[in-house]
């Protein structure tokens, strides 16, 4: 995800605010990347049962520097679906990805593997818990 992030964000900035100073765009992208990297490290350091978010949610929540860049450049906010606006009210440009696939096929595959691994770990923990309860009975 982190490898794909800069190119994806560059495209999002160019699509919404063509002509934005590349150095300002690079600074915003670097800030998003650092935030995503830190939050992903925190997320993945937690046990699956203690994870209260997902990598995709981490990414969606980290786009504020790009939003601020576009706002400061005078780019008008995007027309958004009311549900999207309710889910992510601060993402006035709808930058946050809807799916891992928005960042490319490699990220989509990694996202599926992450989800499957977490589901497997949750299921295994539940089975252990059920077995423990059965043996106590």
Positive or negative, the CA dihedral 109, 112, 118, 121 is negative
pLDDT digits (tens, 9 = 90+) for 2-55: 899 999 999 999 999 999 999 999 999 999 999 999 999 999 898 877 888 889
What's the whole-model pTM score? Answer: 0.82
Report the distance separating Cα 55 and Cα 43, nearest Å.
8
Report the distance separating Cα 68 and Cα 66, nearest Å.
5
**Among 28, 81, 32, residue whose Cα is nearest residue 60:** 32
Report the distance separating Cα 74 and Cα 93, nearest Å.
12
Q: How many CB atoms neighbour CB 116 within 10 A?
A: 10
Cβ–Cβ < 8 Å for 74, 16: no
pLDDT digits (tens, 9 = 90+) for 55-78: 999 999 999 999 999 999 999 999
Report the distance separating Cα 102 and Cα 72, nearest Å.
25
């Amino acid at each position: 995800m982190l490898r794909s992030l800069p190119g994806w964000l560059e495209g999002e900035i160019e699509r919404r605010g063509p002509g934005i100073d590349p150095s300002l765009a690079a600074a915003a992208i670097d800030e998003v990347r650092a935030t995503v990297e830190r939050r992903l490290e925190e997320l993945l350091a937690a046990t699956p049962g203690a994870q209260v978010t997902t990598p995709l949610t981490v990414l969606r929540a980290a786009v504020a520097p790009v939003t601020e860049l576009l706002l400061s450049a005078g780019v008008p906010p995007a027309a958004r679906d009311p549900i999207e606006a309710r889910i992510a009210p601060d993402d006035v440009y709808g930058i946050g990805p809807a799916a891992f696939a928005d960042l490319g096929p490699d990220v989509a595959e990694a996202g599926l593997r992450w989800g499957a691994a977490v589901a497997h770990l949750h299921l295994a923990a539940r089975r252990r818990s059920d077995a423990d309860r059965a043996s106590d009975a």
